[in-house]
Chains A and B, each alone.
Chain A
Amino acid sequence: MDSSLTEQPAPNQPLPDLVSNEFAGLYQTHSREIYYLTLRFLGDAHKAEDATHDVFVKAYRKWNTFRGESSYRTWLYRIAINHCCNLRQNWANRHLVTNADDAVWESAAASGDSPLRVLEIKELGERIQKTLDQLSDEYRLLLLLVADEELTYEEIGVLTEQSPDAVRGKLHRARKVFTAIFQRSL
C-alpha cells in the first residue's frame, strides 16, 4: 500500500474561543472536507476560503434547526453544495453533461479502470484540478463526494437529488472521463 495514503494530515486550525465548544468541534472535525470540496469544485483557493467561511457562518445561523435527521457531515455538505452551486449559477457551466464530457467519453472506453500512474507527485494537485475543471459540475461533484469514504451512495444520492443507482451509473462514466483526461495530461 502507498505509504503516503496513511500519512496523517496536519490538524485543522481550532476556532478562536469565541463560539460554543460544540460548534468549534464541528469546525475542527469537518473543515477539511468542506474546504477540499469547495477548493476542487470551484477550482480557486481564494474562492474556496471564502466559501468555507460562508458555509460555516450559514451552519452557525442554522445551528438550532439541525434536527439530527442526517449526520453533521451530510448537513454541512448540503450547505456547501448549495453555496457552490449558487456561486456558479452565473457561470456558463450549468449543463449536467457537457459536450467536453461526451467527446472525452468516446475515447475513454479504452482507459477502462486502469490505475492512475503519477510520476511527479509535486504537481499532482494542479494536475487533478486541471482534470476536474474539464468535467461537468455534476461529474466533478460526484467524484469529490464519492472520494469521501464516510459517504454512502444513498447519501450521495440524497445530496445530489437522484437515486443511488443513478449515482452509480454516472460515477462509472465520470471515473472513465476523469481517467482519460488525467492520463492525457502528462
Chain B
Amino acid sequence: MKHQKKFESQEQQQASETQSQQKTSAREFASVEELLRHDAKQTNVPPEIAQRLGRSLQNEPRPARSWWRRWFR
C-alpha cells in the first residue's frame, strides 16, 4: 500500500514535470515576423567569419576616406 502510494505520487510528479516541460517549450508567435525575429535572435554569427574577414582585409588596400565622410566629420 505504502509502495503503491509512493508510486502514484512519483507518477503524479512525473506528469506534472512533463506538463511544465511542455508549457515551457510550447510557444505561440502572433505573426511570421515575430517567429523570424525570434529565430534571428537565437542565431549567432560564427566567430570564424570575423577571423577570416580580418585576414582577408589585411591583404586589401586601405580604402580612402570618401569626400562625404571627410565633409561630415
Contact = CB atoms under 8 A, between A and B. Distances in A.
A49 B66 contact: no
B39 A179 contact: no
A40 B37 CA distance: 12
Contacts of A13: 45, 47, 49-51
Chain B interface, DSSP helix/strand/loop, else mixed: helix
A49 B51 CA distance: 11
B35 A36 contact: no
B58 interface: yes
Interface in A121-136: 121-122, 124-125, 128
A131 to B, nearest CB: 9
Interface residues on A, range: 35 or more
Given A32-B40, A119-B26, 8 more contacts: A4-B27, A5-B37, A9-B43, A52-B49, A53-B49, A118-B35, A122-B25, A175-B31
Interface of A: 2, 4-5, 7, 9-10, 12-16, 18-20, 23, 27, 31-33, 35-36, 39-40, 45, 49, 52-53, 56-57, 60-68, 113, 115-122, 124-125, 128, 143-144, 146-147, 149, 174-175, 178-179, 182
22 contacts: A9-B41, A9-B42, A15-B57, A18-B58, A19-B54, A35-B45, A40-B36, A53-B49, A61-B60, A61-B63, A65-B66, A67-B66, A68-B72, A116-B32, A117-B28, A117-B29, A119-B26, A124-B42, A128-B39, A143-B32, A175-B31, A179-B32
